[in-house]
Amino acid sequence: MAVTYVETSKLPTPMGTFQIHGFIDDEDGKEHIILSMGDLASGEPTLVRIHSECLTGDALFSLRCDCGAQLQAAMEKIAAEGRGAIFYLRQEGRGIGLTNKIRAYQLQDNGADTVEANEKLGFGADMRDYSMLKPMFEKVGITRVKLMTNNPRKIAALKDLNVEVIERLAHETGRNPHNANYLETKKGKLGHLIAGEDK
């Protein structure tokens, strides 16, 4: 997959000042970013989060998922360490898009779980693609990572791209009464490494 680097600038946030790096997918025109802090090309393992866009969770504070809490926690952990990167990918709704995610939400309101809802709309349970990461990792010089994730598919995707996953760091946050069933479905049907209610 061809991804073109655009530009880098400073991004001050409540958690600290990050660098924001812009990329455009040459095939579909989607824009992806990296938020980074510190020297990424030192060869030392880099604290990394691969985060797929979730407008409802990241920007609208939805409690139906844990996405917004995960994004904020990743930014806080990187700021505390002083070095790391968040790869923010435009793959709303595990790849089905925003309006289809709203359709899926309606099905969930009527009893379907998150996987069943996607499948009823004619989609796979998880439609995300991580191939755009290769040129993004190459641009910032990251080859070894400490990956903040509960999703084994992300670990496998990085290994396929020859990025060495030194360590998986559990990234559980944001559980609430509105997303408890969603999290259990991700654990039971998608294989996410989530401890559960007692965590």
182, 64 Cβ separation under 8 angstroms = yes
Considering the candidates 25, 58, 66, 126, report the single residue annotated as catalytic.
126
Composition of the chain by helix, strand, coil, percent to 5: 35, 25, 40
- Among the listed residues 39, 128, 153, 175, the single catalytic one is 128
| 39 catalytic per annotation | no
Q: Is the dihedral of CA 112, 64, 76, 97 positive or negative?
A: positive
- Provide the Cα torsion 33, 34, 35, 38; round to 10°: -150
Select from 98, 75, 72, 73 the least CA-distant residue to 85: 75
Residue with tokens 């990025």: 163
- What gap in Å lies between CA 11 and CA 17, rounded to an integer? 6
Q: Is 128 part of the annotated catalytic residue set?
A: yes
- The DSSP secondary structure of 133-197, one letter per residue, reads HHHHHHHHT--EEEEE-S-HHHHHHHHHTT-EEEEEE-------TTTHHHHHHHHHHH------T
Catalytic positions, written as ranges: 126, 128
